[in-house]
């Protein structure tokens, strides 16, 4: 069992992407699953770690996700990806808004913010 795992969750209406990193920044896993409360909880519970830190990207789903997942992690932050351009590579979407490349970026953001 790992001591601490940093998790990044990229949530969308139909599917979520989740990635986990260890304290050294190594990618442990990356997975995709349906966006349902039951699926989210089961994936979090299956992660074997003494401490889980979860980063969520600010979105229309962030409030629901934070409420549903708060009891299954030790630390939860909701972050604005526009404020973290130096942490994660971004890509331009139609309309000019910046979007993090993946849930790995959220995990990296969580790891960086935790070490402040």
| pLDDT computed for residue 67 by the predictor | 93
Location of structure tokens 């629901």: 64
| pLDDT computed for residue 83 by the predictor | 58
- The pairing of beta strand 98-100 with beta strand 90-92: antiparallel
- What's the rounded mean pLDDT across residues 21-31? 86
| pLDDT computed for residue 82 by the predictor | 63
pLDDT reading at 89 higher than 70: no
CA distances from 73 to 1, 16, 84 (A): 15, 17, 22
| pLDDT computed for residue 116 by the predictor | 41
Task: Provide the β-strand partners of residue 76.
Answer: 54
- What's the rounded mean pLDDT across residues 93-107? 51
- What's the rounded mean pLDDT across residues 49-65? 89
> What would the pLDDT profile of 5-18 be if each residue is shown by its tens digit?
999 888 888 988 88
Is the pLDDT higher at 90 or at 12?
Answer: 12
Angle subtended by helix axes 37-45 and 62-69, to nearest 10: 50
């Amino acid at each position: 069992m790992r001591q601490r795992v940093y998790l990044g969750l990229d949530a969308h209406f139909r599917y979520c992407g989740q990635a986990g990193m260890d304290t050294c920044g190594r990618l442990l896993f990356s997975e995709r699953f349906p966006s349902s409360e039951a699926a989210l909880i089961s994936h979090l519970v299956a992660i074997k770690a003494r401490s889980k830190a979860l980063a969520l990207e600010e979105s229309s789903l962030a409030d629901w996700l934070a409420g549903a997942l708060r009891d299954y992690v030790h630390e939860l932050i909701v972050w604005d990806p526009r404020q973290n351009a130096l942490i994660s590579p971004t890509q331009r979407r139609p309309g000019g808004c910046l979007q993090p490349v993946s849930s790995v970026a959220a995990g990296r953001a969580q790891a960086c913010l935790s070490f402040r």
